[in-house]
Structure 1
Amino acid sequence: MKKCIQLLVVTIIFSCTNNKTVYSQDTEAREIVTYLDSLEGFSGVVLIAKNDHILLQKSYGFAHLGHKVKNNIDTKFSYASIGKSFTAVAIFQLIQDGKLSLDDPIGKFLPNYPNKIARDSITVRLLLMHRSGLPDYFYSDKFLKTSKEKFRTIESLSNLYEDEPLEFKPNEEFSYRNTNYIVLGRIIETVSKIPYEDYIKKHIFSKAEMQNTGNFDVDHIIENEAENYTLSDVYPNELQKTFFMSAVKGSSAGGGYTTVHDLYKFALAFKNNKLLNKEYTNFMKKEPENGSYGYGMQFAGAKGSGIYGHSGGHFGVGAEWRIFEKQNYTVILLTNKDLEQGFLDARFFIEKTIAGPTSKLDTYFYTKKVINTCLNKGIEEAKIVIKESKLELSEVDLNAKGYEMIKRGFYKKAIDLFSLEILSFPKSYEAYDSLGEAYMMDGHLKKAIENYKKSLELNTENTNAKEKLKELLK
């Protein structure tokens, strides 16, 4: 009883505003909020709870830059692929009710599916685990070059993938594809005999008391919504709205909107067995032997860390819910800028602070140090940092920062970063390809040609290098 009174007093003392709550005796929460406060340009909201008590909730940046409307803890953010969490839970609810099984083929529910191999061989299990081999409609020309207004229902997307060949034989490999969860949405509609939207409202959002979550139409009014901002491809170093870069409406693969508190309610409802019974909850959160993706669940940290949840990312969107089971923390992170504009920094710092360092985290922050040294002190200083360390660089993060510099119009900085990439990964055709692009943008056409040729030597199938060389050699 005394402990409860102490918690109440602390909460009252440190809940002075609607924007921020910090439990003073939690060192981790204080470290995290100090770090987030230091992130330049960070835009979003974070909630951290321990033992189901909120320690920290704080918003940053703007929901609408044009009108200078700030984000707040009630702002609705796009949650991108977090929607797959809702779909996976819905599937297991139907399994729990005996209405389908993991090994049912999709043909049982979609008998007219045109691809016979897919119809007979792809199971619910393979869809959940992204091992189906179904093609990726989300980045196909059919989708990208068509008005998104045509795709407001799950069914309307079917012609984008049904008649396309499989990328690989079912269960041959892992390949994260929105298509898998679109098909799962269709199965939910077939089995439940109601639209997907109605099912998750009734069986997930309602049960978890999520009143501010839904697959809203993004071209219509969404109350208290955060616009999404990505670095512009049109004007260097400016932000661009993402209206034309994604779907017009959320679906069973993701793309809906939620608030930080609604997503927290979902995390609580899931881990406390309010959406599924204990058996199926435990099944969903069981870490796979290979890889980091299970049955609609992502797993972070070292093997056996007990960190599970799901993230989502797209142009101008970074979102995540995570349960740190061993430490009894729940973390919700929603942002409305690109992943590299603070989301990844926040995500990995929170993980490191709560669960401790891992080789992956060490690599991320070491790469960040090298990048910052290169940008602020020059490439030679960055080379010294690399020489003095035994840690490995992340080529992905280094390359991403280089392209960010291109988008910002800082071509010489991009050249330096891609040069560091080649120094550390001399056999990477992508590194030479990227350096070729940076030189081309900076007007050094001879050096661009040299690097594109080197990229092509390392990978004779690099079509981008072939096309760029044709243009440059004219």
Structure 2
Amino acid sequence: MRIFYFLIIFFLFSSGYAQKLTERIDLLVLEHHASYPDVGLVVSASKAEEVVFEDAYGYSNREFQVKAQPQHKFRIGSITKQFTAVAIIKLMEEGKLSLNDPLQKYLPGFPSEIKLEHLLTHTSGLMDYGNKPDWFPKVSKQDLEPEALADYIQKDTLQFTPGSRFAYNNSGYHLLGLIIKKLSKKSYEEYLKNEIFEPLGMNDSFAHSSSEVVADMAEGYEDINGKAYAPEFIHPKQPFAAGNIVSTAADLRKWYSGLFSGKIIKPETLEKALTPYTLIDSTKTKYGLGWQVDNLQGLQMVNHGSYYPGYTAEAWYFPETEVLVTAFSNSMPLTNMVKKIGLIANSKPLEKKEFLQLSHKELLPLNATYQKDNDQWKFQVIENKIYYSRNNSSRYEIKPVKKDLFYSLDWDIFLEFKDAENGVYQTYVFHWNGTETEYSLVSEEKTSLH
């Protein structure tokens, strides 16, 4: 009898906890979605394969007011990289390659110093083709086969010695896709379908390199300051192995379940893939093979975010607790929201940040534009607040941690200003994933909006 009562109490407690968890996540999502009420958003949280939360918000198609549904498909952009990495690892397990192989063994003409592991870990020294001055808007719109884009990548000299620095790089993953194609004697799309998607029952996932209309696919938009626009066109062949997969929340659960149960690659190999890469100078990066690797309040976390014109996506997995949080949208910032959901699902407290109150006069020196290659950040002071927009996209507020250090509540990033001359900062520093990228001042505004 005691056991019976214990089971009843346990059931009631568990049910109450689950309901409270669902309500907390829903309120959090509603809070973030309130600034983007029409954006289509699908959020899912699971623990040990059991779904603890899943819901959809806004519209998958705004023109026809089609409401977003959990089963709708979204482009997952750079989350594709973990699939590409696992495909390379699978070929390694089959004895078809070594991660220490030089790239030129498979793609002649590239520098001999570059190894496959450098491509996987964003330490190759290659220039990211997306940062080349003529890529956007000229080359990005062209119907180029993957081999032609590889020739375009090959024209540049190394930016640094391979293995000496981490610099996020789509070019490396593009080349890995060509190696998969060469060694498997299948197209990249066919290989993923045969070796990953079909074995795991991921029936709504595929590598999408055409303009073919897809059933139940969310339409992509650019949300710029509350207004929806068609996203900038990038030819669908170009993202390739760096970012062309379409998927759903349910399929990503199947992906993580199958991957971590040893159905695709060996557990010991996966563990190696989720280990931060060590640079030549013994510095550890925050990236493994296809995943960002970090720690959140004492829990190991492997994750990846993405931006594809018209879409954003996040997938965060906590191996110790088997918690998976995914979010897809068309499109709104997701990073900070997903981070908070991860904390709630792991019964961790939400982080509280303290911010300064700076006056309009104190913020005014930050009213400027900074640029590196074709990547431009514009900072604008409006009354007693400061906002940024990147490459003329949406405007996001940032909060002062220090007089010259700011935090984005939307994207969970830090932005720093330095090298002040005559009251104007000459350099802006973007802090992300343990890296620092410097941008130079190109113009300053003497006035601001009140």
The bucket for the TM-score relative to the shorter chain is: 0.7 to 0.9
Please report how far the alpha carbon of residue 455 of structure 1 lies from its aligned counterpart in structure 2 after TM superposition: 2.9
Counterpart selection for 1:336 from 325, 330, 341: 330
Distance, in Å, in 1 between the alignment partners of 2:191 and 2:246 is 17
Please report how far the alpha carbon of residue 222 of structure 1 lies from its aligned counterpart in structure 2 after TM superposition: 1.8
Please report how far the alpha carbon of residue 23 of structure 1 lies from its aligned counterpart in structure 2 after TM superposition: 6.4
Counterpart selection for 1:455 from 408, 411, 425: 425
Counterpart selection for 1:194 from 186, 192, 207: 186
Matched letter for residue 329 of structure 1: V
Please report how far the alpha carbon of residue 153 of structure 1 lies from its aligned counterpart in structure 2 after TM superposition: 3.3
How does 1:45-84 map onto structure 2 within 5 Å? 45-84=42-81
Distance, in Å, in 1 between the alignment partners of 2:255 and 2:160 is 34
How does 1:89-238 map onto structure 2 within 5 Å? 89-111=86-108, 113=109, 115=110, 118=111, 120-146=112-138, 148-151=140-143, 153-217=145-209, 219-232=211-224, 237-238=226-227
Gaps of 5+ in 2: 279-283, 364-376, 407-413, 430-437, 446-450
Where is the helix percentage greater, Structure 1 or Structure 2? 1
Task: Determine the structure 1 residue equivalent to 2:25.
Answer: 32
Task: Determine the structure 1 residue equivalent to 2:353.
Answer: 366
Distance, in Å, in 2 between the alignment partners of 1:197 and 1:267 is 20
Please report how far the alpha carbon of residue 288 of structure 1 lies from its aligned counterpart in structure 2 after TM superposition: 4.7
Distance, in Å, in 2 between the alignment partners of 1:221 and 1:256 is 14
Query: Is the contact made by 2:41 and 2:328 (CA closer than 8 Å) also made in structure 1?
Result: yes
Q: 1:401 to 1:67 in 2, by over 3 A?
A: farther
Aligned CA RMSD, in angstroms, stands at 4.1
Please report how far the alpha carbon of residue 295 of structure 1 lies from its aligned counterpart in structure 2 after TM superposition: 1.3
Please report how far the alpha carbon of residue 193 of structure 1 lies from its aligned counterpart in structure 2 after TM superposition: 1.6
Distance, in Å, in 1 between the alignment partners of 2:415 and 2:249 is 41
Q: 1:408 to 1:238 in 2, by over 3 A?
A: farther
TM-score normalised by length of structure 1: 0.72
Query: Is the contact made by 2:141 and 2:233 (CA closer than 8 Å) also made in structure 1?
Result: no
Q: 1:105 to 1:402 in 2, by over 3 A?
A: same
Matched letter for residue 290 of structure 2: G
1:72 alignment partner, SS class: coil
1:27-83 CA deviation, whole Å, 9 max, x = no partner?
434321221123312631111111221121111111111111111011111101010
Distance, in Å, in 2 between the alignment partners of 1:208 and 1:90 is 14
Distance, in Å, in 2 between the alignment partners of 1:53 and 1:323 is 14
Query: Is the contact made by 2:75 and 2:244 (CA closer than 8 Å) also made in structure 1?
Result: yes
1:11-37 CA deviation, whole Å, 9 max, x = no partner?
xxxxxxxxxxx9653243432122112
2:90 alignment partner, SS class: helix
Task: Determine the structure 2 residue equivalent to 1:443.
Answer: none
Counterpart selection for 1:403 from 384, 388, 391: 388
- Mean alpha-carbon deviation: is it higher for 64-73 or for 155-164? 155-164
Task: Determine the structure 2 residue equivalent to 1:423.
Answer: 403
Distance, in Å, in 2 between the alignment partners of 1:465 and 1:101 is 43
Query: Is the contact made by 1:430 and 1:455 (CA closer than 8 Å) also made in structure 2?
Result: no
Query: Is the contact made by 1:292 and 1:299 (CA closer than 8 Å) also made in structure 2?
Result: yes
Task: Determine the structure 2 residue equivalent to 1:322.
Answer: 316
Distance, in Å, in 2 between the alignment partners of 1:122 and 1:211 is 36
Please report how far the alpha carbon of residue 169 of structure 1 lies from its aligned counterpart in structure 2 after TM superposition: 0.9
Query: Is the contact made by 1:452 and 1:468 (CA closer than 8 Å) also made in structure 2?
Result: no
Distance, in Å, in 1 between the alignment partners of 2:390 and 2:175 is 38
Where is the strand percentage greater, Structure 1 or Structure 2? 2
Q: 1:408 to 1:131 in 2, by over 3 A?
A: closer
Query: Is the contact made by 2:326 and 2:338 (CA closer than 8 Å) also made in structure 1?
Result: no
Please report how far the alpha carbon of residue 453 of structure 1 lies from its aligned counterpart in structure 2 after TM superposition: 7.2
1:326 alignment partner, SS class: coil
Task: Determine the structure 1 residue equivalent to 2:255.
Answer: 266
Query: Is the contact made by 2:316 and 2:338 (CA closer than 8 Å) also made in structure 1?
Result: no
TM-score normalised by length of structure 2: 0.75
Counterpart selection for 1:242 from 231, 235, 238: 231
1:160-219 CA deviation, whole Å, 9 max, x = no partner?
210111111111100110011011111111111221111111101111111111222463
Distance, in Å, in 1 between the alignment partners of 2:55 and 2:62 is 18
Task: Determine the structure 1 residue equivalent to 2:265.
Answer: 276
Distance, in Å, in 1 between the alignment partners of 2:45 and 2:379 is 26
Distance, in Å, in 2 between the alignment partners of 1:104 and 1:330 is 33
2:299 alignment partner, SS class: coil
Please report how far the alpha carbon of residue 243 of structure 1 lies from its aligned counterpart in structure 2 after TM superposition: 4.1
Query: Is the contact made by 2:22 and 2:52 (CA closer than 8 Å) also made in structure 1?
Result: yes
Q: 1:132 to 1:36 in 2, by over 3 A?
A: same
Matched letter for residue 32 of structure 1: I
Please report how far the alpha carbon of residue 143 of structure 1 lies from its aligned counterpart in structure 2 after TM superposition: 2.0
Distance, in Å, in 2 between the alignment partners of 1:191 and 1:260 is 30
- Mean alpha-carbon deviation: is it higher for 264-273 or for 398-407? 398-407
Q: 1:338 to 1:314 in 2, by over 3 A?
A: farther
Distance, in Å, in 1 between the alignment partners of 2:391 and 2:186 is 47
Counterpart selection for 2:293 from 265, 288, 299: 299
Q: 1:431 to 1:229 in 2, by over 3 A?
A: farther
Distance, in Å, in 2 between the alignment partners of 1:466 and 1:52 is 50
Work out whether 1:350 is the aligned partner of 2:341: yes
Please report how far the alpha carbon of residue 331 of structure 1 lies from its aligned counterpart in structure 2 after TM superposition: 1.8
Distance, in Å, in 1 between the alignment partners of 2:63 and 2:146 is 33
Q: 1:137 to 1:453 in 2, by over 3 A?
A: farther
Distance, in Å, in 2 between the alignment partners of 1:86 and 1:128 is 11
- Mean alpha-carbon deviation: is it higher for 313-322 or for 92-101? 313-322
Distance, in Å, in 2 between the alignment partners of 1:73 and 1:23 is 23
Q: 1:458 to 1:32 in 2, by over 3 A?
A: closer
Distance, in Å, in 2 between the alignment partners of 1:158 and 1:207 is 30
